[in-house]
Amino acid sequence: MTEPSRAREIREAATELFYERGYHGTSMREIAARLNMRAPSLYNHLESKQQLLVDIIEDDVALITREFEDATATTDDVIEKFRRGFEVHVRHHTRYAHESKIAMTEVAALEEPGQSEVKEMRRHYTELWRTLIEQAVAEGRASTQSTNLAAYAIIDMGIGIARWFRPDGPLSEGTLAGTYCDFALSVIGADSSPPRSRT
């Protein structure tokens, strides 16, 4: 077994346990036991339990930010940008529910400088949403009175999915993304019809 694969297994085990029991409720011994390893052996593959938490959260926030930027770069229409951005926001929280919940609930467990770094990454993601909503309002395609509150509400809509969504549940990922997108458009008072051509 190569070093990268063992390190990946340790991270996956830690992610499952942090999701199930929380960061402070999980010991290195429990992570090792899930992999049939001795706790001291973990340190041959990682720096610390704290670094595991930093890596899980930072990677999750970086991934959803990249997914949003890639999706919204594929069109010039602001409402279509919103739709595509929100779809990947929803899909991320269905596909990475464990990581997303950890990123949502365990920031307070981060030590510095990790906590400040994560908070800055999250602020950047929120700013991407706020800027997009402001553009929709400026173009007359949305009518929310508070772009800040709208951005927070929209982000929270997606985050909440990580708490309850199950792949084997009654709602498919695609159905959920479409339905929630309609909800999100209503939050910003969006006109979802195509923009008028300029004469």
Per-residue pLDDT at 82: 98
**Identity of residue 153:** A
For the segment 30-50, the average pLDDT, to the nearest whole number, is 92
Q: Is the pLDDT of residue 197 over 60?
A: no
State the Cα–Cα distance between residues 155 and 85, nearest whole angstrom.
11
Q: Is the pLDDT of residue 106 over 90?
A: yes
Pick the CATH number of 48-187 from 3.40.50.300, 3.40.50.880, 1.10.357.10, 1.10.3470.10: 1.10.357.10
Residue ranges of the chain assigned to CATH 1.10.357.10: 48-187
Residue ranges of the chain assigned to CATH 1.10.10.60: 1-46
pLDDT, tens digit (0-9, with 9 covering 90-100), for 134-188:
999 999 999 999 999 999 999 999 888 988 888 888 989 999 999 999 999 999 9
Mean pLDDT over all residues of the chain?
92
For the segment 20-42, the average pLDDT, to the nearest whole number, is 94
Per-residue pLDDT at 195: 52
pTM (global) more than 0.85 = yes
**Identity of residue 186:** S
Enumerate helices (H) and strands (E) in the chain, giving the number of each.
9, 0
Q: Is the pLDDT of residue 74 over 90?
A: yes
Per-residue pLDDT at 171: 87
Percent of the chain predicted with pLDDT > 90? 81
Query: 47-61, 97-111, 159-173: lowest mean pLDDT where?
Result: 159-173
Per-residue pLDDT at 191: 67
DSSP H stretches of helix in the chain? 3-21, 28-34, 39-42, 49-72, 78-95, 97-105, 114-138, 147-164, 173-187
193: confidence class by pLDDT, cuts 50, 70, 90? low
- Fold exhibited by the domain 1-46: Arc Repressor Mutant, subunit A (1.10.10)
Q: Is the pLDDT of residue 33 over 80?
A: yes
Of the candidates 99, 101, 104, 109, which has an alpha carbon nearest to the alpha carbon of residue 25? 109
